[in-house]
């Protein structure tokens, strides 16, 4: 029988918390895609309501799958995947700030949050915490 694994160390708890936050983002996108897109400052075109499927399908799918796999299986390689996913998200935002001149308060706060969400599981996987 498979049992749910509860984290034992501080590092595991921090990585577990990032997985929970990731699942939360995924659920928000899955259940309320229009609100999520509005929070992300994205909008669909009136003549293309099917674009909401991108938020609900593509974006929510990856958040939910990666977060839930980390929560259920609790393997270091999965936390590595989660940390790298958030790290590349932060890198993409940083590149956009620098190259696209998209520097704004929203992007600055988002970059900070994404960096923290990347660092915590990676620090656990590499033994820093």
Question: What is d(CA 118, CA 105) in angstroms, rounded to the nearest whole number?
Answer: 20
pLDDT tens, residue by residue, 23-48: 999 999 999 988 888 888 888 887 87
Q: Does the pLDDT value for residue 1 go beyond 80?
A: no
Contact residues for 120 (Cβ-Cβ < 8 A; gap 6+): 14, 15, 17, 18, 83, 129
pLDDT tens, residue by residue, 56-71: 888 899 999 999 999 9
**Residue 99 confidence (pLDDT):** 95
């Amino acid at each position: 029988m498979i049992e749910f694994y509860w984290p034992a160390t501080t590092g595991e708890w921090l990585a577990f918390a990032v997985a929970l936050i990731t699942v939360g983002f995924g659920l928000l996108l899955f259940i309320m895609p229009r609100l999520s897109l509005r929070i992300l400052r994205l909008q669909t075109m009136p003549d293309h309501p099917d674009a909401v499927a991108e938020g609900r399908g593509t974006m929510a799918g990856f958040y939910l799958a990666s977060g839930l796999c980390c929560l259920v299986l609790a393997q270091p390689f999965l936390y590595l995947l989660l940390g790298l996913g958030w790290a590349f998200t932060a890198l993409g935002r940083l590149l956009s700030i620098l190259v696209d001149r998209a520097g704004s308060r929203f992007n600055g706060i988002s970059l900070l949050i994404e960096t923290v969400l990347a660092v915590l599981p990676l620090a656990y996987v590499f033994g820093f915490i």
